[in-house]
């Protein structure tokens, strides 16, 4: 067994988005900062984020869009610690990553469109500031008490530390290195950990009723309800070979993963485009020789139109003038209140984040220090909050990682 010589050391456990940010902000204090990471290179979620392009930040941040069991004012307070424009400046000036705004969505991506650039710059910045990186090493346990913590690594090494920052993520995409270590540690330390569930995960449709539509995308409005939860989204919807995906589906998927069965089983209603029921009623109630399918195709892809007509019992060549009232009602119902026949979800394997986690009420909002175990800090996905698709979750990791790193250095 060996022990790090300097007991003033700060150990950051996990070199994902939050850990890399925490280490880089703790290092300028001059105290030794050791960043321990289980994978050989760290930042693996950054690498696969945004389809390999890394949606590094959102265009704007609405704290009310975060999902958490903790009081909303805590989410707001944590996010306020580092305004979005300052985060952007950090990436552009300190990390020299040029960011560009995607015109349609306002989301920020690196100009190179390469997530690897973001991951590599974060790691380099930490190293340049003097952070000692121990990659390919897993932390097996953290024990001790205020001011005197011991971090036990695989291989038997023990590092003595004044402060330990836990940035080990949650349970999502285990292949990236997160296995719930931080959540278990928090429980051991006496923390309340809100029940966890996969969030931002694709949905499955067991009998694949829409397999013929695989690849079709629309901008849809979704409303999911279940067990008293409601989530709405207006964004891209993608039919896949196994079910449904796209930002709108991911953004409401937590209602499904929390209420998969039983009397409160989640229901998802879809409005396939911006045209609402009243507007469709008006457009379909004209005595015209124009075909119904033609009118629908003005707003929706042909393959989806074909399917909706089939399910509504309306023959494909029906003219508007021939559309009976009942058939019109059935069609409008499917256009605007379509019940999505999901059967399951992709779970943690594909979830972009973990819902639930370390209760925000048990960490100091300004520092992220544990109220149960002073000297221990939590940041990133391990905490009980996640946001929608669009850069919100990195923003959460950057902000909380920075706050924890700065505070651990002041300890």
Ligand X SMILES: Cc1cc2nc3c(=O)[nH]c(=O)nc-3n(C[C@H](O)[C@H](O)[C@H](O)COP(=O)(O)OP(=O)(O)OC[C@H]3O[C@@H](n4cnc5c(N)ncnc54)[C@H](O)[C@@H]3O)c2cc1C
* Contacting positions for ligand X (CB under 6 A): 13-19, 36-39, 42, 44-45, 48-50, 54-55, 138-139, 167-169, 172-173, 176-179, 181, 352-353, 380-381, 391-394, 397
Helix (H) or strand (E) holding 93: none
Shortest spacing between CB 391 and ligand X, in angstroms:
4
The answer to whether the CB of 296 falls within 8 A of the CB of 309 is: yes
Give whole-number Cα distances, 40 to 22, 43, 113, 136, 158, in Å. 19, 10, 23, 4, 19
When the beta carbons of 184 and 285 are compared against ligand X, the nearer one is 184
Shortest spacing between CB 91 and ligand X, in angstroms:
13
When the beta carbons of 47 and 214 are compared against ligand X, the nearer one is 47
What's CA 171's distance to the chain center, in Å? 12
CB atoms < 10 A from the CB of 145, how many?
11
Shortest spacing between CB 58 and ligand X, in angstroms:
7
Contacts made by residues 348-351, CB under 8 angstroms, sequence distance 24+:
348/171, 348/172, 348/173, 348/174, 348/198, 348/201, 349/173, 349/174, 350/173, 350/198, 350/201, 350/202, 351/171, 351/172, 351/173, 351/198, 351/199, 351/200, 351/201, 351/257
Shortest spacing between CB 71 and ligand X, in angstroms:
21
When the beta carbons of 11 and 74 are compared against ligand X, the nearer one is 11
Shortest spacing between CB 114 and ligand X, in angstroms:
13
Query: How does DSSP assign 254-288, residue by residue?
Result: HHHHH--SSTT--EEEEE-SS--HHHHHHHH-S--
Residues 193, 166: Cα–Cα separation, whole Å: 14
Q: Residue 81: beta bridge partners?
A: none
Shortest spacing between CB 45 and ligand X, in angstroms:
4
When the beta carbons of 22 and 296 are compared against ligand X, the nearer one is 22
When the beta carbons of 18 and 222 are compared against ligand X, the nearer one is 18
When the beta carbons of 102 and 306 are compared against ligand X, the nearer one is 102
The answer to whether the CB of 160 falls within 8 A of the CB of 3 is: yes
Shortest spacing between CB 177 and ligand X, in angstroms:
2
Helix (H) or strand (E) holding 47: helix 44-48
When the beta carbons of 176 and 196 are compared against ligand X, the nearer one is 176
């Amino acid at each position: 067994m060996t022990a790090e010589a300097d007991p003033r050391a700060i150990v950051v456990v996990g070199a994902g988005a939050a850990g890399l940010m925490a280490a880089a902000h703790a290092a300028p204090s001059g105290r030794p900062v050791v960043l321990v990471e289980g994978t050989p290179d760290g930042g693996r979620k950054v690498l696969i984020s945004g389809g390999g392009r890394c949606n590094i930040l959102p265009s704007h941040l609405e704290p009310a869009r975060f999902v958490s069991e903790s009081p909303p004012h805590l989410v707001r307070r944590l996010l306020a610690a580092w305004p979005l424009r300052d985060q952007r400046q950090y990436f552009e000036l300190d990390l020299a990553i040029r960011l560009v705004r995607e015109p349609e969505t306002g989301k920020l991506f690196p100009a190179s469109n390469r997530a690897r650039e973001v991951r590599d710059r974060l790691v380099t910045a930490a190293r340049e500031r003097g952070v000692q990186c121990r990659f390919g090493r897993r932390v097996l346990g953290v024990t001790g008490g205020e001011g005197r913590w011991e971090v036990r690594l695989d291989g038997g090494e023990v590092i003595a530390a004044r402060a330990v920052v836990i940035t080990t993520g949650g349970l999502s995409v285990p292949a990236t290195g997160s296995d719930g270590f931080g959540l278990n540690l928090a429980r051991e330390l006496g923390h309340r950990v809100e029940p966890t569930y996969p969030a931002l995960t694709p949905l499955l449709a067991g009998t694949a009723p829409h397999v013929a539509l695989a690849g079709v995308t629309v901008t849809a409005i979704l409303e999911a309800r279940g067990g008293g939860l409601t989530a709405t989204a207006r964004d891209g919807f993608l039919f896949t070979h196994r079910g449904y995906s796209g930002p709108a589906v991911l953004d409401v998927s937590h209602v499904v993963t929390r209420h998969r069965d039983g009397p409160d089983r989640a229901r998802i209603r879809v409005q396939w485009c911006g045209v609402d029921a009243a507007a469709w009623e008006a457009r379909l109630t004209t005595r015209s020789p124009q075909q119904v399918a033609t009118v629908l195709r003005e707003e929706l892809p042909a393959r989806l139109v074909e399917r909706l007509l089939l399910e509504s019992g309306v023959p494909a060549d029906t003219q508007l003038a021939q559309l009976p009232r009942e058939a019109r009602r059935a069609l409008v119902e499917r256009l605007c209140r379509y019940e999505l026949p999901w059967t399951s979800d992709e779970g943690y394997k594909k979830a972009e984040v973990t819902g639930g986690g370390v209760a925000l009420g048990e960490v100091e909002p300004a520092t992220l220090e544990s109220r149960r175990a002073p000297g221990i800090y939590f940041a990133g996905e391990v905490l009980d909050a996640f946001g929608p698709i669009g850069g919100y979750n990195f923003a959460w990791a950057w902000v909380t990682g920075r706050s924890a790193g700065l505070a651990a250095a002041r300890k």
